[in-house]
Amino acid sequence: MNEFLTTKLKSLNMALSGFLLSFEIFWKIKNLKPIKNFRKTNIRLDAFENSILESLNKDGVAVTNIENFSPALLDDLVRWKNEIQHNRRSSLIKDFLIYFIGGSYKSEKQQFEELNPLISFSIDKSLLNIINSYLGMWVNLIYLEMNETKIIDKSEPLKKSQKFHRDPGINSCIKVFIYLNDVEEGGGPFTYVKGSHRYGKYWKFCKQRFFGAGGSYPDLDQLSEKVNKNDIWEIYGSAGSVIIADTTGIHSGGNSFKKIRQMTTSLYYPPGDPLKSKITCNFDIESLELNECQHFALCRK
Ligand SMILES: [Fe+2]
């Protein structure tokens, strides 16, 4: 390689390192307090939490069961779903889904008049320990969803989140899903490309968008060329399966060809991200006796 090219490459490398360094500094400043809070509490994860964190760090996704958080919670969630049947509405944005809760992050404010099982689960201490440890800071719970897929014909073109994509975010974000019914092949499984999260082997493929509600969508031919098919994980599971995923990694979901899927979503972002909480609780939060980290997740705006 000639000297001119070597010098150019070196300066390009230095500029890139400078950019990455300034990004790291910018991100730390934007999240100074949540990072400090997380470090100050110096939590010790138990064996279960550690195994989930390990999978998240390695693959960007982890699967467990709701019973590991709270044994009665699945029944509570299903009962609550039946109680809020009157909320059922089709989505204009994603016409392959019927929503019980959520469905329009951009325009919706979520007001809850009483505590419900999805909020209880979403601020579970153990769950927050895992998410906060993954992101290295206290996070905000920003949005909740409960939806049901519609059965579509396999020949129909895939739309929106049915296609592989990355969710937007300055850095990473976490979505936690609970299957409310058994999900098998053709039943709308959440699908994740293992290693497509930040620092994973596919991170550089199809960069995520920093801002906006829409994500970035990889070219499918390139995806099948660059990604080992063994790393594409269609996640099947019984009712009560819990999926914790960094959805700035490549994923898709909602493709029900045989059977519907009912699922909840809890969405968490670092407080420094432009995507903010849409959740307001119009009930006595103080009576819940939350610890500081739980309170921060639910109430910080
Ligand atoms: Fe997504």
CA of 21 from ligand 1 middle (Å) equals 28
- Taken in order of first residue, the domains within the chain and their CATH numbers are 33-299 (2.60.120.620)
Residue 267's identity, in one-letter code, is L
CA of 162 from ligand 1 middle (Å) equals 9
CA of 106 from ligand 1 middle (Å) equals 14
Mean pLDDT of 129-139: 97
Cβ(285)–Cβ(204) under 8 Å?
A: no
206 pLDDT band, cuts 50/70/90, is: confident
Please state, in angstroms and rounded to a whole number, the distance separating the CA atoms of residues 37 and 64: 27
SS3 256: strand
Q: Which of 49-53, 215-219, 251-255 has the highest mean pLDDT?
A: 49-53
- Among the residue ranges 1-5, 65-69, 76-80, 296-300, the one predicted with the least confidence is 1-5
What integer pLDDT is reported at residue 13 of this predicted model?
57
Q: Is pLDDT at 1 greater than 60 in this prediction?
A: no
What integer pLDDT is reported at residue 208 of this predicted model?
78
Give, in degrees to the nearest 5, the angle at Cα 137 between 252 and 49: 70
When computed from its CA atoms, the radius of gyration of the chain, rounded to whole angstroms, is 20
CA of 245 from ligand 1 middle (Å) equals 10
Residue 162's identity, in one-letter code, is Q
CA of 251 from ligand 1 middle (Å) equals 6
What integer pLDDT is reported at residue 23 of this predicted model?
82
CA of 175 from ligand 1 middle (Å) equals 9
CA of 247 from ligand 1 middle (Å) equals 6
Q: What is the pTM of this model?
A: 0.91
Question: Running DSSP on this structure, what letter comes out for residue 162?
Answer: G
15 pLDDT band, cuts 50/70/90, is: low
What integer pLDDT is reported at residue 54 of this predicted model?
98
